[in-house]
Structure 1
Amino acid sequence: MFCEPGHSRSWDARLPRLLCVSTTIGDVMKIFIAGATGAVGSRLVPQLVAHGHEVVGTTRSVAKTGALRALGAEPVIVDALDPDSVADAVAKAEPEVIVHQLTALGGPADLQSVKRMAAATNRLRTEGTDHLLAAARAVGVRRFVAQSNALWMERTGGPVTDESGRIEPNPPADGAEAVAALCHLEDSVTNIGWAEGIALRYGGFYGPGTGVSAAPDAVMAEQIRARKFPIVGGGGGVWSLVHIDDAASATVAAIERGKPGIYHVADDEPAPVHVWLPELARALGAKPPRRVPAWLVRPLAGKAAVDTMTRARGISSEKTKRELNWTPRYPSWRTGFTQGLE
């Protein structure tokens, strides 16, 4: 089970109006954001509105429609796992671009909750992706941008990889479903032949609306303050991080001028867990994280969790900066942790 970097197929000659689409800054588009109230979506909507785009944003909750309107989007209630619900919403919106930011990762951090959220996210990255792509094709969407992530880059090679790297082909058994879901999403999106498909591999999020922020309900920050997020083993896994506003601005760049394929979105300083985690604890006003042997964590949290803490690889975003003319506001988590958590 693995996925190679995506390559777009040739255009379908039966769809002439989609040929040679090249959207640049200045073009006003109608954009459908699936998952508009999530971590990226809630920061993405106002940036797109500020660029003059018309935005339709989905939510599962009636209670969140007011917040979407306040951000400048037209809200729509959608069950992403119901193909009829998705098809109906997309058909009514008639967007030029669909942005897939669906996950189910917000909530309590206890082990059972994390497993449920991960399983739900896997379904959104497989079934949800398929439903959105089918609806997109039916209305002639010309660009499709989807959220992937970089936590499962192949574990061989140097500490950092570019977009030529593939997803890990031999993950631990308890990480296999998540890896398969990422592969499905990337392959499905980047190999569509009737529109421009773009997958964004994001680094780990931090900042407002994420689990790592100054907010009292930020789950990961709460764990760090309680010293429940330890350095596992030597903490040698290299993580790439990205402030949530930088993730959103890179997404805007991909929507407006991206070409089919994969882009990496992270800051310029990939670092081992044992380097960045103590700095994050300090920024949150917490005591230094504990150090726990891998053998002790493995039966409690699973092999996949240990693997990401000890063997993960970082990513380079040079292609994104070069091709999309993107510059992160926080080029290093060091300044991001001190200036961008509020």
Structure 2
Amino acid sequence: MHVFIAGGTGVLGQRMVPQLVARGHQVTATTRSTARLGELERLGADGVVMDGLDAASVGEAVGRARPDVIVHQMTAISRKADLKHMDRWFATTMRLRTEGTDHLLAAAQATGVPDFVAQSYSSWNGIREGGWVKTEEDPFDPVTGTTAEPVMAALRYLEAAVMRAGGTVLRYGWLYGPGATDELLELARKRMFPLVGRGTGYNSWVHVDDAATATVLAIEQRAKGVFNVVDDEPAPASAWLPALAGAAGEDARSECRSGSRVSSRGRWWPE
């Protein structure tokens, strides 16, 4: 197949390209920077510069490639994490999940691309009703009145648009692995990671390589619908945050164990 990855230099894009190439697929992958074209070529892809927020740029890139499937992996998450102001931290990513999704779907329709796969998220954002185990049928928590509210609204927009187009949505858990947790380690190292209440809120995780493999399988099997892509065992913050702090350093580990940095305003965190 000819696979078009929008966001090829992202954490997941970089793990997907080699897997697809190894399985015999042709890959066209996009970047916003000319300087990163060589990186994509070294991974085995045809690199293309594309602005996901520019409809003309997206239309031209897809029109030239004429792929069999478009994979929407576009994000723009700053390496400087801002957990207190998620709306600011994810500002450009929210636009890529709304405007960028519309541009890619329009280009797919104009070019006759039959399949579309998009990145979504399901680590801590399940509806706070019923049990804590959630399926693909369970909606997101709107987290009304928090800085995460517009972030969740953008995800709902993306999923609805992709489903209307007959595409596939992959709800990845919180990514970990090479390049995926650097900003979290930095927060833990600086003793700035908020621990809410007793840390009983659960998160679902997935390694970047597992997420990439699941995406490759969804492409090859032409899967349709919404799928949660997470590790088998979710974990409460009281378990994974000390482990993260331990990776960041002993001072951060002690801070997490003491519980001295308890946030009473982090309502976006499930508990």
What TM-score does the superposition give when structure 2 sets the normalisation length? 0.92
CA distance in 2, matches of 1:270, 1:39: 21
The residue number in structure 1 matching 2:148 is: 175
- Aligned partner of 1:76 among 43, 48, 56: 48
Q: For the residues of structure 2 that align with 1:245 and 1:285, how far apart are their CA atoms?
A: 25
SS state at 1:154 partner: coil
Alpha-carbon separation, structure 2, partners of 1:185 and 1:154: 18
Who is 1:209 aligned against?
Answer: 179
Q: SS of the counterpart of 1:208?
A: coil
Q: Which residue of 2 aligns with 1:262?
A: 226
Cα distance, 1:282 vs structure 2: 2.3
Residue 131 of structure 1 corresponds to which residue in structure 2?
103
- Aligned residue in 1 for 2:138: 165
Q: Is the 8 A contact 1:97 1:143 kept in 2?
A: yes
Counterpart for residue 210 of structure 2 = 246
1:300-340 deviations in whole A, cap 9, x for unaligned? Answer: xxxxxx234343xxxxxxxxxxxxxxxxxxxxxxxxxxxxx
Q: Does 1:198 align with 2:168?
A: yes
Three-state SS of the structure 2 residue aligned to 1:229 is coil
1:219 deviates by 1.8
Q: Distance in 2 between matches of 1:125 and 1:270?
A: 26
CA distance, structure 2, for counterparts of residue 165 and residue 114 of structure 1:
23
- 1:293 is aligned to 262
Partner deviation per Cα, 1:170-216 (whole Å, 9 max, x = no partner): 53342221111001100110121xxx400011100111021x2xxxx
Q: Which residue of 1 aligns with 2:7?
A: 35
Query: Aligned residue for 2:243?
Result: 279
Picking from 49, 68, 88, the partner of 2:60 is 88
Distance 1:197 1:95 in 2: 15
Partner residue of 2:267 out of 296, 307, 311: 307
Kept in 1, the 8 Å contact 2:87–2:151? The answer is: no
TM-score, normalised by the number of residues in structure 1? 0.74
RMSD: 1.8
1:224 to 178, 185, 188: 188
Cα offset for 1:111? 6.7
Alpha-carbon distance in 1 for matches of 2:77, 2:174: 13
Correspondence for 1:50 among 11, 19, 22 = 22
- In structure 2, distance between residues paired with 1:179 and 1:234: 24
Q: Distance in 2 between matches of 1:120 and 1:42?
A: 20
Question: For residue 102 of structure 1, what is the amino acid of its counterpart?
Answer: M
Aligned-partner SS, 2:227: strand
Unpaired runs of 5+ in structure 2? none
Question: Partners in 1 of 2:19 and 2:144 — Cα distance?
Answer: 36
Q: Give deviations 1:110-141, integer Å, cap 9, x for gaps.
A: 57996444111110000000000000011111
CA distance in 2, matches of 1:126, 1:69: 29
Asked whether the equivalents of residues 142 and 149 of structure 2 are also in contact (C-alpha less than 8 Å), the reply is no
Q: Which runs of 5+ in 1 are unaligned?
A: 1-28, 213-217, 299-305, 312-342
Is the 1:107–1:113 contact (alpha carbons within 8 Å) kept by the matching residues of 2? no
Q: Is the 8 A contact 1:104 1:117 kept in 2?
A: no
Partner of 1:148: 120
Q: Could you list the per-position Cα deviations for residues 152-180 of structure 1 after superposition, in whole angstroms to 9, with x for gaps in the alignment?
A: 22111212111111112453342221111
Q: Which secondary structure does the structure 2 equivalent of 1:146 belong to?
A: strand
Aligned length: 265
- Whether the 8 Å contact between 1:236 and 1:272 is mirrored in structure 2 is yes
The answer to whether the 8 Å contact 2:148/2:268 transfers is no
Counterpart of 1:222, as a letter, is E
Tell me the secondary structure at the aligned position of residue 206 of structure 2.
Answer: strand
Q: Which of the pair has the greater relative contact order for Cα pairs under 8 Å at 6+ separation? A: 1
**Identity across the alignment (%):** 50
Deviation for aligned residue 1:70: 0.2
